[in-house]
Structure 1
Amino acid sequence: MINLLVHFVLMLAMPPLLLGVINKTKALFAGRKGLPLLQNYYDLIKLARKDVVISQTTTWIFVAAPVISLTGIVMAGLLVPLGPFQSPISFTGDLILFAYLLAVGRFFTTAAALDTGSPFEGMGAAREVTFACLSEPVLFFALLVLAKMSGTLILGDLLHAPLTVGIQGAAASLVLVAIGMFIVLLAENSRIPVDDPNTHLELTMIHEAMVLDHSGPLLGLILYGASVKLFVLSAVLLHILFPFQSGYALLDWSLFMVEMLGVAVAIGVVESIMARLQMRHVPYLLIAAILFCAFGFVLLVR
């Protein structure tokens, strides 16, 4: 029961901190002091206190989309175990539900963008779903590799496969899958080199272009949902990169939090040393991620 409570607390409270670590890392590389580490918490509180401005051309979808998207992401997070612990919800085939809970959030976000009638938000929505068609196969290939290792279709058990089954004979496959999942982590969370979350040029935006008309608490829900999505996908990546179990709950939880902060630092380093790709080159990066995971599966079954 205590582990389940810690799962809920970390999943709901820690995500904005990851964004703060990313921003601090980028500021360090640029020789700046940067924003406070907890700035994202302050921004969410500020947005929660503001009024909402809603266009008269929009429908209920515009208001409901942030709530549905956040709900889907949180439900997906309940299917993912944190560290060596069990997930709150698990059943056979839940890996399919996990993938499509993330897809539900994307669907309603793009539907809300189209609901405004804005050409810029329409462009962002088109780009989002186009790249999603390439990132979803990466996720399924990665889960397929882990399912082959574990012999199960329960998400929690297959994510624990590198820990319980071991990596003998599967190290090369796990390395390839980890590379592919890291690319998807950047793409799904609109990070460089796929997208720049800090850009203000509508013609080059992807995710940020879709939320230009949202304000106040609705914008806060979108930003918070994006941070939770980063947390959930980072937790999935850690099962592949750093499977660890000491047998002491306090040590395991502490190490998990340190590893999550390490993923945030890695994202900040990537964003500091790389430039954003031209839009026409992003599909090549995602196709490379598909090939990494596909070759990982081939190496596992050869």
Structure 2
Amino acid sequence: MKITVIIHVIAALLLSPLLLGMVIRVKAFFAGRKGKPLLQVYYDLAKLLQKGAVYSSTTTWIFKASPLVIVLVGIIGVMVVPLGQTPGLLAFPGDMILLVYLFGLSRFITVLAALDTGSPFEGMGASREVQFSLLAEPALLLGLCALSALGGEMSMNTMVTSLQAGTRPVLAGAIFIVLLAENSRIPFDDPTTHLELTMIHEVMILDHSGPDLALIEYGAALKFWAYASLTASLIVPQGIEGEWTSLVAGLMALMVVAAAVGIIESIMARLRLTRVPQLLVGATILSLISLILIIR
């Protein structure tokens, strides 16, 4: 096993909150503000870990177990996804299906925990999350299937390295849209809003506090790293020699993806809730058409 594979996993575990910090800094730059420190996400996680967790009398073990499941899913996710030419630690044929269902499990346990509280606001957010995930997951899975059919590979690592240069930007753009949807970013959702009537993901974790909330936020950072790594693997230039050079190029591509997310959130507004399904259905149809054309 290459040492760079292990370093990639360690970097993901340690630096995933830094990507979210870069998004915040880019948004502050476009707004003309000084903004929060680059390490603000680490400060927030440390502050939450020092507090105590509060549990409602209506919640069960599902509510307490959900943060652990979310973190474990995030850790496995970053082990599966490659970074440029650096393969994933758990890469194997068909790992793209595992990635989709891993984060589907994370969403499922989050919805269960939200419903477990008995809160009408969290139930509303869970309903929206399920509705939008019903449209986002087919777009991602069909897109990965098209990617597999185009490259003739079943593993995400060999899949992205075998693509022709002309097809990489188009597929990177498609995966980037899925990244925004799956990570509750603008224009699909606003991770900074606190208005219950418009929240989707954030409203489902309102009753979590202390270390539980820290685990959920850290799991979200790992999920962002996983999707960003998949996008970055499609924009890393081909022909890079040397495993260390490839790893550095992948990390730089990760920064580009994080900066792109910050730019999108700075120049666009959130879509109306009625428009989100239309965009996701359109992405699913495009992925399906791409798959059909490639198979033919």
Report the TM range for the smaller structure's normalisation. Answer: over 0.9
Q: Partners in 2 of 1:223 and 1:245 — Cα distance? A: 36
Paired-residue identity, %: 46
Q: Partners in 1 of 2:174 and 2:87 — Cα distance? A: 24
Q: Partners in 1 of 2:224 and 2:145 — Cα distance? A: 21
Map of 1:61 onto structure 2 = 62
Map of 1:241 onto structure 2 = 235
Map of 2:74 onto structure 1 = 73
Map of 1:47 onto structure 2 = 48
Map of 1:151 onto structure 2 = 152
Amino acid of the residue matched to residue 248 of structure 2? S
Q: Partners in 1 of 2:229 and 2:9 — Cα distance? A: 13
Amino acid of the residue matched to residue 16 of structure 2? P
Q: Partners in 1 of 2:128 and 2:51 — Cα distance? A: 30
Amino acid of the residue matched to residue 87 of structure 1? G
1:1-302 correspondence to structure 2 within 5 Å: 1-162=2-163, 166-167=164-165, 171-172=166-167, 174-302=168-296
Aligned pairs, how many?
A: 295
For residues 25-49 of structure 1, the C-alpha deviation after alignment (integer angstroms, 9 at most, x for no partner) is 1111111000000100111111111
Give the drift of 1:175.
Answer: 4.1
The 3 A distance-change label for structure 1 pair 152 and 250 is closer
The 3 A distance-change label for structure 1 pair 4 and 105 is same
TM-score normalised according to structure 1 size: 0.93
Give the drift of 1:258.
Answer: 1.2
Amino acid of the residue matched to residue 139 of structure 1? L
TM-score normalised according to structure 2 size: 0.95
Question: Residues 138 and 180 of structure 1 are in contact (CA less than 8 Å); yes or no, is this contact kept in structure 2?
Answer: no
Amino acid of the residue matched to residue 240 of structure 1? L
Q: Partners in 1 of 2:200 and 2:237 — Cα distance? A: 33
Q: Partners in 1 of 2:244 and 2:40 — Cα distance? A: 28
Provide the aligned C-alpha RMSD in A.
1.6
For residues 31-71 of structure 1, the C-alpha deviation after alignment (integer angstroms, 9 at most, x for no partner) is 10000001001111111111111111100000100101111
For residues 112-151 of structure 1, the C-alpha deviation after alignment (integer angstroms, 9 at most, x for no partner) is 0000000111111111111111111111122112211232
For structure 2, the 5+ residue unaligned runs are none
For structure 1, the 5+ residue unaligned runs are none
Question: Residues 49 and 216 of structure 1 are in contact (CA less than 8 Å); yes or no, is this contact kept in structure 2?
Answer: yes
Deviation larger for 110-119 or 232-241: 232-241
